[in-house]
Chain A
Amino acid sequence: MTTLVKYTKQSPSRRWSWLTDPLAALIRDRFALGGLIILAIFFLIAIFAPLIATHPPFESAISDTGRLMRLQPPSADHWLGTTTFGQDVFSQFVLGFRVTLMVGVLGAIAVGVISTLFGVISGYFGGWVDDVLMRITDIALSIPTLPFAILAVGLLGPSINNIILVIVLLFWRNGARIIRSAVLTERERVYVKWARTAGASHVHIIRCHILPNVFRVIFLWVTMSVAFAVLTEASLSFIGLGDPSTTSWGQMLNTAFTSGNLRSAWWWVVPPSLALVMLISSLYLVGRAFEEHANPRLRAK
């Protein structure tokens, strides 16, 4: 009897269960909750970055005696010290939140949209579309990711737009494959067949039956894509192929590295490194909780 009552109580909210169930799983998982909190803080800093930054990021600090204040350790005026060009590390670091998260989120959304589009079309309709997609992804999966990014960004010119473009080119393929196989299982479910027999249109079936059920997979892939995008941008910038008009974390580390101060100026090196590790790990922790939620064999008893 109790189960019946419980079920009727829940039923109005079942409509949104595809969204609320995974979210509840994330909050129950303590690691994922920690990740979510870190992500929330990072997003807040990114949004208010221009208000938090204390100096213009590329302005060189000149001391009262007219000398360039290079490689100053942290002080009251420069909270995280200065770079070898006398620029304020704290301001560059704070504005780096914006660049990094922008590349991550924009890249991941684009990857998510394209993967979903191709995955759903190919998985739902099958046929030659599916064949072509599978062959394309076969080839794309043999392309080494970062070398391709280095080549493409190096040849097209280092800018944020090109970096995002390369990220989308690199990561849509895995997503499309994963979403495709999820759609494939959903398509064979009995209620989908019933809906089709009852005369439901393809659009209706995709919107009401397929998408809510593969949402978890899409969300997982978008989360991972943010991590991949951030990692790719940071790696490219560290190599020296970052957008020169911005101050991303990878770029700060690149400047510290190429100017030979990697080993001495800890105030310059530690903040961007730590932020990158925290950001990517948080995304992985959230993604992991999703994966475990989706795999009942891994769920703790």
Chain B
Amino acid sequence: MRAYILRRLLQSIVVVFAVTTIMFFIFRIVPADPTAMMVERGMSEEARQALLKEWGLTGSLGTQYVSYIKNLMVFDFGESFFYKKPVWDVLLPRIVNTLWIAVPGLLMGAAIGAGLGMVVGWSKRGSATERSGILVATIIRGTPSFIIGIALLAIFSSWLGWLPGFGMGDANGKTGIARFLQGDFLIHLILPVLAITIYFLPENLLLMRSGVAENRTEDYIELVRAKGVSNSRVAWHAGRNSLLPLITWLFPALAETIAGIVVIEIVFSWPGIGRELVMAVTRQDFPLAQAAFFLLAVMIVVANFAADLTYGKLDPRVVYR
């Protein structure tokens, strides 16, 4: 077990290393010049060279690469061109903001999706419940996340006027955790979380449904039924066994889900890491864009690692090698 964790950890480090290398080259082969923005503001050539040196953009590719990796290893992303302060100071609050909408959204989407998937999977083959469940889930799955956001905005914010759909409310001068524990913030939280829930729900539903539909023909289900157990408890037997593939899918699916969350943040003007990434790219704020991307990639690697570990905890048959 310990050897397995160690090996997976090493693998994860290799993956992170490879991603950073790819990133290094992406930022250096592109035609865009990071100082272009500054030169327009009337910067002298010497000042430009000094800046390039400060950002580690002078010298051979080899030396650049070495200093780049060195900086990343200690999570030193440098200073944002736009905000004129360390990238960490900009990104850390953004990450917290993203987690505020992502974690509840993903958890609710998974829970509700799995629950509904069990109902649909256990319903009679070809019944109205099954067919309409699959159809509705597939249509929602085919809805781009920003359209879910736009629809929620139109209904709850414009038409009914119940909920705000822009930003995360006034800080009222509060900082730290107190900033998030006010009614205004929580009201602003509702629509983005709802959008992520709806966006994430259908894939859980469909996966759970096919798991239950496959499991219900197994012999052990017949046995449980023969024992005279009630129908809903039999369904739970099949459902529990279908949770495993769902959970292994869940963590790696984060890579795709983060994609949806980036766009949802844009729709609701939520100051999260995804929206910051988009703004950094359009502003050509390279250190910030690079760091945001790096952190998103690390999140996925960590999630994959976690998935492998939980899988063994949940299924005793899994042997770590």
Tell me the A residues contacting B by CB distance below 8 Å. Answer: 31, 138-139, 141-148, 150-152, 154-157, 227, 231, 234-235, 238-241, 253, 257, 262-264, 266, 269, 273, 276-277, 279-285, 288, 295, 297-298, 300-301
Contacts and interface: CB of A to CB of B under 8 A. Distances in A.
B126 A283 contact: no
A288 B14 CA distance: 35
Nearest to B266: A239
A196 B206 CA distance: 41
B73 interface: no
Given A31-B131, A145-B259, A295-B210, 14 more contacts: A142-B297, A142-B300, A146-B262, A154-B281, A154-B282, A155-B30, A238-B263, A263-B157, A277-B139, A277-B142, A277-B144, A284-B138, A297-B213, A300-B126
Interface residues of B, number: 61
A146 B144 CA distance: 12
Contacts of B138: 31, 281, 284-285, 288
B18 interface: yes
B234 to A, nearest CB: 18
Contacts of A240: 278, 282
Interface in B111-136: 125-126, 131, 134-135
Closest 5 CB pairs of A and B: A281-B142, A146-B259, A154-B281, A280-B142, A155-B30
B153 A147 contact: no
Interface of B: 11, 14-16, 18-19, 22, 26-27, 30-32, 125-126, 131, 134-135, 138-139, 141-147, 150-151, 153-154, 157-158, 206, 210, 213-214, 217, 252, 255-256, 258-260, 262-263, 266-267, 274, 277-278, 281-282, 289, 292-293, 296-297, 299-301, 304
Nearest to A272: B147
Contacts of B289: 151, 154
Given A145-B256, A147-B293, A300-B126, A139 B141 contact: no
A145 B102 CA distance: 17
15 contacts: A139-B14, A144-B300, A146-B263, A147-B258, A156-B30, A157-B32, A231-B144, A235-B259, A238-B266, A276-B144, A277-B147, A284-B141, A285-B135, A297-B213, A301-B125
Given A147-B274, A235-B146, A253-B146, A155 B282 contact: no
A247 B134 CA distance: 33
A159 to B, nearest CB: 12
Contacts of A154: 281-282, 289
Nearest to A239: B278
B297 A143 contact: yes
A300 B210 CA distance: 12
A144 B15 CA distance: 13
A151 B266 contact: no
Contacts of A138: 11, 15
A82 to B, nearest CB: 20
B144 A280 contact: yes
Given A239-B266, A297-B217, A143 B143 contact: no
Given A156-B30, A262-B153, A235 B144 contact: yes
Contacts of A234: 144, 146
A238 B146 CA distance: 8
Contacts of B134: 31, 288
A142 B19 contact: yes
A263 B266 CA distance: 15
Given A231-B144, A239-B278, A281-B138, A142 B293 contact: no
A16 B158 CA distance: 55
Contact of A283 (B14, B142, B144, B255): B142
Contact of A269 (B141, B150, B300): B150
A141 B304 CA distance: 10
A275 to B, nearest CB: 10
Contacts of A155: 26-27, 30, 32, 281
